[in-house]
Amino acid sequence: MADDEDLELIQEREKMLFDDPREAPRVGATVLRRRNTRLDLETFAPLFVRHLQAPKFEATRLCQLPHGMLLDNIDAALAEAIAAELRSLGEDCVVVPAAKIISLPRPHPVHAMQLSKTGMAVRSATEDWYSLRWEDLTCLAMGQVAVEEVKRTTQGMLTRRITSPSAMGGVGVGTMATALTPHSNVSVSKSSTQHQLLDFVSLMPLAYCRIDARHFDYSILGDQLQSGSTANVMTLARWLLAYAPQMNSNIDVDRLKQTGMTGMPHVDQHGLTEIAGWLANVRQLGG
């Protein structure tokens, strides 16, 4: 009987820690790191194993997160204990109520932009414009995402059709007649290309915007317009950070300002959304 009760407690604890936290009532706490560098496995993985009773692979995953939202909606006392040990090891972090965590909507694609002293106007694919104020922008996130493209090619071919009089209702077997008829051959090829994405978030009103560097009108750059989309999206990011320097970012802002270029992490589209969400929450709740 005792063993059954112990098993139920373990299963309940695992459910609390590893199930999708959005499915549970947000009555716990969330641990937010203030930076997203990877945690040293030898130092921090044992911490997670000990506090969370987590398997090694889960502790490794937590150390390698591309964002700083470390643990979401867990027991408040457990969150405080983990945060205290993280701080003792030099990791700056905060514990906030899970109910206050900002959940971002789906990213809104932006294809054009106009800038002014007070803010920006952005245009979607449907030609709709709406305005955002510089002071309301909270974060800017950039990443490289592999996008799969499918290409279908149709090639016309001539095939030989053979008929005989008997096959056509004639009598006896005559000479074979041949004819060339058109035939279509469709080939499908898949390729993967790297797209640079730039996300930014406004909290009042809540707006989550995404620019695909390959599908944006850079005419606003004027005489700073260059031939490549990578250089252009870097210039755009530098401009936005100059207008709204309060924005948190996952890129090296100082390097971007000095050289015009900076590194971008390789992530999937959902991963970039997680980074943007973490940056917005750190800015709003990090103190």
| Angle CA 4–10–12, to nearest 5 | 100
What domains appear along the chain, each with residue ranges and CATH number?
A: 2-100 (3.30.1390.10), 108-146+194-266 (2.30.29), 150-190 (no CATH)
For 117, residues 6+ apart whose C-beta sits below 8 A from its C-beta are none
8 A C-beta contact, residue 144 and residue 194: yes
Task: Specify whether the CB–CB gap between 283 and 138 falls below 8 A.
Answer: yes
CA-CA distance, 110 to 36, in Å (whole number)? 26
pTM for the model: 0.76
Choose the most confident range, by mean pLDDT, from 55-59, 159-163, 181-185.
Answer: 55-59
Q: CA-CA distance, 251 to 24, in Å (whole number)?
A: 32
- Residue 34 in 3-state DSSP? coil
pLDDT per position as a tens digit, 21-58: 456 799 999 999 999 899 999 999 999 999 999 999 99
